[in-house]
Amino acid sequence: MRVVGGTYRSRALRSLRGRALRPTSDRLRETLFDILGPTIEGSVFVDIYAGTGAVGIEALSRGARQTIFIERHAAAVRLIRGNLRALGITSEAEILAMDALRALELLAASRLHAQSFFLDPPYAETGEYERALDFLDRSSMLTPGGRVIVEHEKRRVLPDYLESLERIRVAEQGDAALSFYRLALAA
């Protein structure tokens, strides 16, 4: 696994052995950041269920001002710290080692506003998709023009509309898909 583009392009990232993590593939990360394009520059990016940290690191590599990594598993948190240290990333990164919903509540209480929220829960933990999406739908953390991006199995059905969010795009690649949500436009 490597960083696909930007400042840290082609730098290797470590992962855990076995099936403990399902990192976002290099190709899917490239698709994600090709779609986000220059909107990532100078933004705040939140990588929820961060795993290896590859997506959030890619955001920093492509010019994000700050990435917040949310990950509850201790081995993955150590891995993210190691990947950040290997690249010399310090002040632009923050790791919240806790449950996703608890971390989002903490960020909302701190009045965080972010351009991009990336959700990639374990595919088998179906309730995590709804919990995180519902929280972000009710919160005011997403900046105008911002996106909530959900990586999921291509066959998983996600809602087109929530109360505040609407799905505007789906990009499929192999068995995976990225669903892009934004604040719904007033009718």
Give the model's pLDDT for residue 1: 86
Mean pLDDT computed over every residue of the chain? 92
Alpha-carbon distance of 59 to 36, in angstroms, equals 10
- Identify whether the C-beta of residue 183 lies closer than 8 Å to the C-beta of residue 146: yes
The residue to which tokens 């520059």 are assigned:
41
The answer to whether the CB of 161 falls within 8 A of the CB of 184 is: yes
DSSP string covering 114-144: EEEEEE---TT-HHHHHHHHHHHHHSS-EEE
What does pTM read for this prediction? 0.94
State the Cα–Cα distance between residues 161 and 47, nearest whole angstrom.
22
Domain layout of the chain by residue ranges: 26-183
The CB-based long-range contact list for 166-171 (8 Å cut-off, 24+ gap) reads: 169/35, 171/31, 171/32, 171/35
Using pLDDT thresholds of 50, 70 and 90, give the confidence band for residue 18: low
Class of domain 26-183: alpha beta
Average of per-residue pLDDT across 59-65: 97
Q: Percent of the chain scored above 70 by pLDDT?
A: 96
| pLDDT band, residue 20 (cuts 50/70/90) | low
Instruction: Report which DSSP code applies to 185.
Output: P
| 25-50 confidence digits (pLDDT tens) | 889 999 999 999 999 999 999 999 99
Which residue in this structure is represented by tokens 């590599």? 61
Query: In the predicted model, is pLDDT for residue 187 greater than 70?
Result: no
